[in-house]
Structure 1
Amino acid sequence: MRPTQAMLRPLTDRAMASAGVRHVRNPNMPRARGILTLKDHVYFAKATAEGSGRNGTVKSNGDAPLELKMAMPKVIGGKGDGQNPEQLFGMGYASCFLGSLQLMAARANKKHIAENAKVHTNVFLGHPTDPDLEGFGLRVELSVEGCEDDEIIAAAHEFCAYSRALKHGVEVTVNKV
């Protein structure tokens, strides 16, 4: 199988074409953004960060507890001797997208086309182009390897919880304890 790379944009900005997915949004049109809300939940994960922020520790208690030492990457002044949030985000997104890809293939009675697929993520941390935004922002690229079906890839992008979060936004509540 030859690797397929699909840089995915929100599906509302695309039209399906016989040769694949093509961009059709008018860049001069402002994009209205809503927020995705939940009517219920079927699972929740709890994580706690402690210590020196990006150089502290993070724990998740659940079915398989996990504790990691966090460290800023060397390229932004850290020691690079631990994990960082961008790695964790990329791992979660890749895993969620792969599951969505396999589910969409199965629903289309094409389970075999995604059985050996791989999803690669590149998560970029950088400065926003908007001069009014301080701090950092993220840019994400997904590459799908081993699945040649653009419609299945697009359906996975529409279904994946991470893709939805980035496309539609998520409800965030900040509480003081």
Structure 2
Amino acid sequence: MPILYTTEATASGGGRSGRSVTADGVLDVQFTVPKELGGDGARGTNPEQLFATGYSACFLGALRVVAGQKKVKLPDDTTVTAKVGIGPRDDGQGFGIEAALTVDIPGLDRDLAEALVAQAHIVCPYSHAMRTATEVPVSVA
């Protein structure tokens, strides 16, 4: 697969209670652990929120590409909401994530909306990775 864009982010500190910064410095976030995961609920973000924002934005982009290919004008107020959850895996070896998307395309025929969303689910790289459990290479620097 030819790669068209690559970015990097580096996490430091306590992981879920640390900091992460992209190589270009555009994104610089402080992580906090949600109360549901044993944290103090301090204001900050967490990996699941970042995954949800990335997935929803990427899926909306894929939906716009698909709609454009089909010559369908999506309303400007079209939205994609990603719900991301984390919990212990059934195998007891760690944690897993789950995701669900809700797409709102006001004023568009339901059958057409469902067809566009189904095609966007194929096009979106986040959906593809979630569906195929893409293997991630891990190395030690």
Checking the alignment, whether the CA contact within 8 Å between 1:101 and 1:114 is kept in structure 2 is no
1:116 to 77, 101, 107: 77
Partner in structure 1 of residue 101 of structure 2? 142
The SS at the match of 1:109 is coil
Partner in structure 1 of residue 131 of structure 2? 167
| Whole-Å separation in 1 of the counterparts to 2:26 and 2:34 | 24
Q: CA deviation at 1:167?
A: 1.1
The SS at the match of 2:10 is strand
Structure 1, gaps ≥5 residues long: 1-38
Q: CA deviation at 1:114?
A: 4.8
Deviations 1:43-70 (A, max 9, x none): 00101000011000001123x6111000
Partner in structure 2 of residue 80 of structure 1? 41
- Higher relative contact order, structure no. (Cα contacts within 8 Å, ≥ 6 residues apart): 1
Checking the alignment, whether the CA contact within 8 Å between 1:125 and 1:137 is kept in structure 2 is yes
Question: Structure 1: which amino acid aligns with 2:130?
Answer: L
1:47 to 9, 16, 29: 9
Return the structure number with greater helix share.
Answer: 2
Residues paired across the two proteins, number: 135
Q: Does 1:151 align with 2:110?
A: no
Q: CA deviation at 1:170?
A: 2.3
Q: Percent identity, please.
A: 36
Q: Does 1:91 align with 2:50?
A: no
Q: CA deviation at 1:125?
A: 1.1
Checking the alignment, whether the CA contact within 8 Å between 1:127 and 1:136 is kept in structure 2 is yes
Checking the alignment, whether the CA contact within 8 Å between 1:105 and 1:114 is kept in structure 2 is no
Deviations 1:125-165 (A, max 9, x none): 1122x2x2322211111000125311100000000010011
C-alpha spacing 1:156/1:107, structure 2 compared with 1 (3 Å): same
